[in-house]
Amino acid sequence: MNQKPTKTILWTIVFFLLIFLPIVLLFIFPYPEERTFLREASVIIGFVAMSLMGFQLIPTSRVRLVARNFPLEKFYDVHHKLSIISAVLVLLHPILLFFDGVPLRILNIFAESSSWRIQSAVLSVVAVIILIITSVWRKPIKLRYDIWRYLHNLMTYLAVGLGLWHMFIVNRYLAHPVNKVVWIGLTALWVLMILIVKLIKPLMLAQKPYAVKIIKQERNSSWSLELQPVGHPGFKYSAGQFAWISTKSPLVYNENPFSFSSNADVTDGSFSLTIKELGDFTAKIKQLKPGDRVFVDGPYGSFSVDKFACRQIVFIAGGIGSAPVMSMLRTLASRKDERQIIFVYGNPGYEDIIYREELETLQKQLNLKLIHVLENPPADWQGEQGYITQSILARHLPENYKDWIYFLCGPLPMTNAVGKCLHALHIPEKHIHLEKYEMA
Same domain, 20 and 143: yes
Please give the residue that has the higher pLDDT: either 16 or 365.
365
Q: What is the DSSP string of 390-439?
A: HHHHHHHS-TTGGGSEEEEEEEHHHHHHHHHHHHHTT--GGGEEEEEE--
Instruction: Flag whether 329 is in a domain.
Output: yes
Instruction: Flag whether 401 is in a domain.
Output: yes
Check: CB of residue 167 under 8 Å from CB of residue 120: no
Instruction: Flag whether 222 is in a domain.
Output: yes
Instruction: Flag whether 241 is in a domain.
Output: yes
Q: What is the pTM of this model?
A: 0.82
Same domain, 292 and 332: no
Please give the residue that has the higher pLDDT: either 33 or 173.
173
Q: Out of 174, 205, 236, pick the residue that ends a domain.
A: 205
Q: With left for phi above 0 and alpha for psi between -120 and 50, is residue 245 left, alpha or beta?
A: beta
So what's the pLDDT on residue 2? 42
Instruction: Flag whether 199 is in a domain.
Output: yes
Same domain, 65 and 154: yes
The mean pLDDT value for 116-122 works out to 91
Q: Which residues of 58-85 are buried (b: 16+ CB within 10 A; e: fewer)?
A: bbbbbbeebbebbbbbbbeeebeebbee
Same domain, 184 and 263: no
CA distance 263 to 238: 9
CATH assignment of the domain containing 341: 3.40.50.80
Local structure of residue 32 (DSSP, 8 states): S
Q: Out of 300, 325, 340, pick the residue that ends a domain.
A: 300
Same domain, 152 and 63: yes
Our count of domains for the chain comes to 3
Instruction: Flag whether 159 is in a domain.
Output: yes
The mean pLDDT value for 286-314 works out to 90
Domain holding 151, by residue range, is 5-205
Check: CB of residue 103 under 8 Å from CB of residue 94: no
Check: CB of residue 315 under 8 Å from CB of residue 219: no
Same domain, 295 and 320: no
Tell me the sheet residues that pair with 433: 407
Instruction: Flag whether 307 is in a domain.
Output: no
Q: Write out pLDDT tens, residues 186-235.
A: 999 889 888 888 888 889 999 999 999 999 999 988 999 999 999 999 99
Mean pLDDT of the chain: 88
Same domain, 161 and 235: no
Rounded to 5, what percent of the chain is helix, strand, coil?
A: 50, 20, 35
Same domain, 379 and 336: yes
CA proximity to 395, closest of 349, 434, 342, 358: 342
CB proximity list for 311: less than 8 A, separation 6 or greater: 339, 403, 404, 405
CA distance 425 to 397: 10
Instruction: Flag whether 305 is in a domain.
Output: no
Check: CB of residue 385 under 8 Å from CB of residue 377: yes
Same domain, 194 and 217: no
Q: Which residues of 362-380 are buried (b: 16+ CB within 10 A; e: fewer)?
A: beeebebebbbbbeebeee
Same domain, 288 and 235: yes
Q: Write out pLDDT tens, residues 35-59.
A: 788 888 898 899 999 988 888 776 5
Same domain, 234 and 327: no
Helices marked H in 100-176 — which ranges?
116-136, 145-170
Q: Angle at which helices 72-99 and 37-55 pack, to 10 degrees?
A: 160
Q: Out of 205, 229, 259, pick the residue that ends a domain.
A: 205
Same domain, 39 and 182: yes
CA proximity to 371, closest of 340, 341, 390, 344: 344
